């Protein structure tokens, strides 16, 4: 009996040894899934417990013929094994069964690093970790990491009219207890066709897809625990960027590159608008393209006004917009650059209603909108009170205030669209938030579309 108890004692010591070895695995074998040391630890303790229990049974149940009661012992051991397996299975850390995830689970660095992206402006100065940018370009779609050789704090020259101004900043952050090296992830990028609509543009079907690697980041624990880089879309397509769930990481003091799970970000992805390389438009082109009703008619006309005491004629242009859906009409004026611009607009503030009569005396249309049973004659539309004046002269606030008061006195809600409106629209065109309007120039006294 003593020999049998000794063998059981050796088994118990073996189980204890397995449990102790499992404690060292995360330090010396960090790439092993976490369930390996977990099962070794609790399996070793379970083996030790069973060996001790068998030794007690052997001592208590040894009968006079020197033969143990094997049947009851086997059933008891089997029950203890099932209880131990159930305990370990229930309290084991969850392991993802999704494709591609099983190799990245169970690491001590899991969910200690986060990659978060948000809309931002290109920094005016070089950040502390340097300036890094992923450029999405084509064809075929690929991307490269561009870095600046300028020192942190220096003026950043990455912003220019030849580059997109719509940018996202992405940040690696280390929330773990130790610094990590060479953090790198892969972004999934889909280039989509541009679909234009009345509100601007939206993304259509996927045209191409690719994986783009991020810059490698070294993340400290308390100081320099974050790393920023920027992403811009240099293509004329919509770019949808999806953030990864995993990243490659190297622990300090270890040459092995590990795959770890990232902390889930608030946003799993984002879209980058197309980069439209266009010639800046002019105010006349906006006058010809703006505010056209979805269901209606636009009447284009011009008028020659006497200026300089009747010695000269000054030509202005106007559009009457008949909006059948709103059952109303309004008028737009384009006043070219001139020394007589202020006096001309002042004249229009008192006489703008006459231009409706000039058009409607010879031109009208009858039509309707979907769902409208009776046709509408454009002569019967009510004036909405809206008047738009496109002016090339850079008037100051005082003159604009005087003209606004004059229009309001005569029952108009006036809106001036000048050089500031032109500059804002050109910025909008560069982000594909609006389709580029056809270009118009005045030839022989008439606005004509040019290539």
Cα angle: 43, vertex 47, 52; to 5 degrees: 150
Give the model's pLDDT for residue 99.
37
Residues 289 and 341 grouped into a single domain: yes
d(CA 359, CA 337): 25
Residue at which a domain ends, from 93, 119, 153: 93
Positive or negative: CA dihedral 351, 352, 358, 364: negative
Sheet holding 269-272, edge to edge: 200-213, 186-197, 238-242, 269-272
The distance of Cα 43 from the centroid of its chain, to the nearest Å, equals 48
By the 8 A CB rule, do 239 and 271 touch?
A: yes
Backbone φ and ψ of 239, nearest 5°: -120, 115
Give residue for tokens 């997109």: 164
| Cβ-based neighbours of 347, under 8 Å, separated by 6 or more | 305
Q: Which residue has the tokens 């008192």?
A: 350
Give the domain-ending residue among 93, 116, 151. Answer: 93
How crowded is residue 389: how many other Cβ atoms within 10 Å of its Cβ? 27
Q: Are residues 80 and 108 in the same domain?
A: no
Rounded (5°) CA angle 65-69-70: 125
Please report the DSSP string for 257-307 in residue order: EEEEEPBPPS-SEEEE----------HHHHHHHTT--SSEEEEEEEEEEEE
- Give residue for tokens 């992830």: 185
Q: Is residue 98 part of a domain?
A: no
| Inside any domain, residue 357 | yes
Q: Would you say residue 277 lies in a domain?
A: no
**CA 255 – CA 390 distance, rounded (Å):** 66
Same domain, 89 and 107: no
How is residue 24 written in tokens?
Answer: 């060292």
How far is the C-alpha of 246 from the C-alpha of 100, rounded, in Å? 10
- The confidence score (pLDDT) of residue 87 equals 65
Whether residue 320 is contained in a domain is answered as yes
Q: Map residue 373 onto helix, strand or coil.
A: coil
Both 59 and 120 in one domain: the answer is: no
Q: What is the pLDDT of residue 98?
A: 42
Q: Are residues 225 and 310 in the same domain?
A: no
Q: Which long-range contacts (CB under 8 A, 24 or more apart) does 367-375 make?
A: 367/295, 367/297, 367/324, 368/295, 368/324, 369/295, 369/324, 369/325, 370/295, 372/324
- pLDDT score of 67: 53
Each residue's pLDDT expressed in tens, for the chain with a length of 451 residues:
566 666 656 766 776 777 777 777 766 666 566 667 777 777 777 777 777 776 676 666 655 555 555 566 566 666 666 666 666 666 655 544 343 444 444 578 899 999 999 999 888 898 888 899 999 987 655 566 788 888 888 888 887 767 787 899 999 999 988 899 999 999 999 999 988 776 667 788 999 998 999 999 999 987 778 999 999 998 888 999 999 999 999 988 888 888 999 999 999 999 998 887 667 889 999 999 999 888 888 999 999 999 888 889 999 999 999 998 888 999 999 999 999 999 999 999 999 999 988 787 777 777 766 766 677 888 888 999 999 999 999 999 999 999 999 999 999 999 999 999 998 888 777 666 677 889 999 999 999 998 8
Question: In the prediction, which pLDDT does 226 show?
Answer: 93
Does one domain contain both 327 and 231? Answer: no
Tell me the helices (H) and strands (E) count for the chain, helix number first: 8, 22
DSSP code string of 47-97: HHHHHHHHHHHHHHS--TTS---HHHHHHHHHHHHHHHHHHHHHHSPP---
Do 348 and 199 fall into the same domain? no
Which domain range does residue 67 map to? 2-93
b/e sequence 139-157, b meaning 16+ C-beta within 10 Å: eebebeeeebeeeeeeeee
Q: Which pLDDT belongs to residue 215?
A: 93
Residue at which a domain ends, from 272, 306, 325: 272
Residue 28: what pLDDT?
Answer: 65
278: in domain? no
Examine the domain organization and report whether 226 and 265 are in the same domain.
Answer: yes
293 in the same domain as 263: no
What is the Cα–Cα distance from 186 to 210, expressed in whole angstroms?
A: 10
**Can you tell me whether residue 318 is helix, strand or coil?**
strand
Tell me, yes or no, whether 163 and 22 share the same domain.
no
The C-alpha atoms of residue 400 and residue 216 are separated, in whole angstroms, by 55
Domain count, the chain: 3
Within-domain flag for 185? yes
Tell me the torsion sign for CA atoms 425, 421, 352, 199: positive
Q: State whether 120 and 216 are in the same domain.
A: yes
Q: Looking at residue 405, what is its pLDDT? A: 96
pLDDT in the model for residue 59: 65
In a shared domain, residues 409 and 263 = no
Would you report the helix, strand and coil content of the chain in percent, each value rounded to 5?
30, 35, 35
């Amino acid at each position: 009996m003593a020999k049998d108890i000794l063998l059981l004692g050796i088994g118990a010591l073996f189980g204890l040894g397995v449990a102790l070895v499992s404690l060292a695995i995360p330090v010396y074998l960090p790439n092993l899934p976490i369930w390996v040391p977990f099962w070794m630890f609790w399996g070793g303790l379970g083996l030790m417990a069973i060996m001790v229990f068998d030794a007690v049974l052997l001592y208590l149940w040894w009968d006079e013929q020197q033969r143990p009661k094997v049947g009851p012992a086997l059933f008891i051991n089997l029950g203890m094994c099932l209880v131990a397996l159930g305990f370990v299975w229930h309290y084991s850390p969850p392991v993802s069964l999704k494709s591609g995830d099983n190799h990245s689970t169970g690491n001590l660095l899991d969910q200690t690093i986060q990659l978060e992206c948000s809309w931002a402006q290109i920094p005016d100065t070089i950040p502390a970790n340097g300036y890094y940018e992923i450029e999405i370009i084509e064809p075929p779609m690929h991307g490269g990491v561009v870095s600046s050789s300028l020192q942190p704090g220096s003026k950043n020259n990455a912003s220019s009219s030849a580059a997109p101004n719509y940018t996202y900043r992405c940040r690696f952050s280390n929330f773990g207890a130790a610094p990590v090296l060479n953090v790198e992830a892969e972004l999934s990028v889909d280039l989509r066709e541009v679909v234009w609509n009345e509100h601007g543009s939206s993304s259509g079907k996927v045209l191409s897809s690719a994986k783009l690697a991020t810059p490698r980041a070294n993340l400290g624990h308390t100081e320099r625990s974050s790393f920023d880089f920027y992403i811009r879309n240099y293509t004329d397509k919509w770019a949808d960027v999806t953030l990864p769930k995993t990243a490659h990481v190297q622990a300090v003091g270890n040459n092995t590159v590990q795959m770890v799970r990232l902390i889930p970000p608030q946003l799993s992805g984002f879209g980058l608008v197309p980069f439209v390389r266009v010639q800046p438009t002019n105010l006349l082109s906006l006058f010809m393209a703006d505010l056209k009703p979805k269901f209606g008619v636009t009447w284009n006309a011009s008028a020659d006004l006497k200026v300089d005491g009747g010695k000269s004629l000054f030509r202005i242009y106007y559009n009457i917009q008949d909006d059948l859906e709103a059952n109303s009409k309004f008028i737009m004026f384009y006043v070219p650059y001139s020394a007589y611009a202020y006096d001309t607009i002042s004249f229009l503030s008192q006489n703008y209603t006459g231009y409706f009569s000039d058009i409607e005396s010879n031109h009208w249309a009858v039509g309707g909108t979907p769902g409208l049973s009776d046709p509408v004659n454009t002569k019967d539309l009510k004036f909405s009170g809206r008047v738009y004046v496109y002016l090339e002269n850079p008037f100051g606030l005082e003159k604009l205030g005087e003209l606004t008061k004059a229009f309001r006195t005569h029952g108009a809600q006036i809106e001036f669209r000048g050089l500031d409106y032109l500059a804002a629209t050109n910025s909008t065109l560069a982000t594909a938030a609006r389709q580029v309007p056809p270009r118009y120039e005045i030839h022989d006294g008439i606005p004509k579309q040019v290539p």
